Amino acid sequence: MKHQITIKDIAVKLGLSTSTVSRALKDHPDISPKTRVAVKELASLLGYRPNRIALNLRNNSTRTIGLIIPEIEHYFFSAIINGIEEVAYKNDYSVMVFQSNESYKREVINTQAVLTNRVDGVLVSFSKETRDFSHFQRLIDNEIPVVFFDRVTEELQADQVVADDYQGAFIAVNHLIEKGCKRIAHFAAPQSLAIGRSRLSGYHDALLKHDIAYNPALVVLADTFDSSKKAAHDILRNADRPDGFFAVNDMSAIAIIKAAVELGLKVPQDVKVVGFENSKSSALIEPELTSVDQFGFELGREACLQLLRRLKEDEDISEFKPVKKVIKTKLVVRGST
């Protein structure tokens, strides 16, 4: 299939920003005549044609926001959706939700559906499998505003809204140490994700603060209920078992508690556990789970507000400067510690 020439292709060849090329093609007075001629000549030579979808989006707003998320059933993402929808509906926008189910291939299909459905802008939290972000770059090249939340990448020029994952992990592990834990395991997310790296870093630095040696053998890749329960069974059978666990999410933490109880251990007397999310489930498990609140509802609100700010801006901005909003976290202490 022949590659469709985009504004980015012209910008790269001429060493200009995409916004400068866009304005040059529209004869904007801020762009010098020389630059306008150069851009138009190259556009003609390469066979550039304005993207119809992008033009429709700019000229005929659909009042619709596309939302691409890994999964809906996860409490954190459902809280984010609630925050997004509150802001969207107050501003007369509807939200079209696309679920990747942690699949890269399905996520690519989702971005194609976003274009087909002519949304005004897109909010994205990408899948665990995603390594290539070119499908999102395609949206940006088509001048469709994109805001990443929770799972973000530095590879793209796009706004970001995230929880302070490092700070949340640090206060969680610091709490376990203050409660007397000396051998703390971390059930981690994939390190391809920034949230996985940030939470591992917070765990690592909290140990160092208290002069506890970092032991890579105590870091286990387990971020689902099933994988965490199996891993907890294995690690808790060891003679030198951990006396504390910091889990990357609440489902993993709950799995650890269940495994400990099945092995005849008492929580928090024998093993202390901290999760990350502060989901509704954290108050339903026995004992109730200590967890880091990452304020999903607020994160969703901020992501949607940032997207709406981009949609209201003049399209002919001189240079796009990505904005990163960080939401502080809070430790909610309950019975598991």
Q: Please give the span between the terminal C-alpha atoms of the chain, in angstroms, as a whole number.
A: 58
CA distance 124 to 63: 17
- The answer to whether the CB of 144 falls within 8 A of the CB of 90 is no
DSSP label of 266? -
Per-residue confidence (pLDDT) for residue 71, from 0 to 100:
92
Q: Would you give per-residue pLDDT tens digits along the chain (337 residues)?
A: 456 788 888 988 999 888 788 888 878 888 898 999 999 999 888 888 766 555 544 556 789 999 999 998 888 999 999 999 999 999 999 999 999 999 999 999 999 999 888 899 999 999 999 999 999 999 988 889 999 999 999 999 899 999 999 999 999 999 999 999 999 999 999 999 999 999 999 999 999 999 999 999 999 999 999 999 999 999 999 999 999 999 999 999 999 999 999 999 999 999 999 999 999 999 999 999 999 999 999 999 999 999 999 998 755 444 678 999 999 999 999 999 9
CATH 3.40.50.2300 in the chain is located at: 56-162+297-325, 165-293
For residue 55, what pLDDT is reported? 53
Provide the pLDDT for residue 316. 46
H helix runs in the chain, sequence order: 7-14, 18-25, 33-46, 52-59, 75-90, 104-116, 134-141, 165-178, 194-209, 225-236, 250-262, 296-312
pLDDT of 51: 61
The CATH class for the domain spanning 165-293 reads alpha beta
Strand 290-293 to 330-332 pairing: antiparallel
DSSP letter at 192 equals T
**For residue 318, what pLDDT is reported?**
45
DSSP label at residue 160: E
The reported pLDDT for the residue numbered 1 is 44
* Assigned CATH topology for domain 56-162+297-325: Rossmann fold (3.40.50)
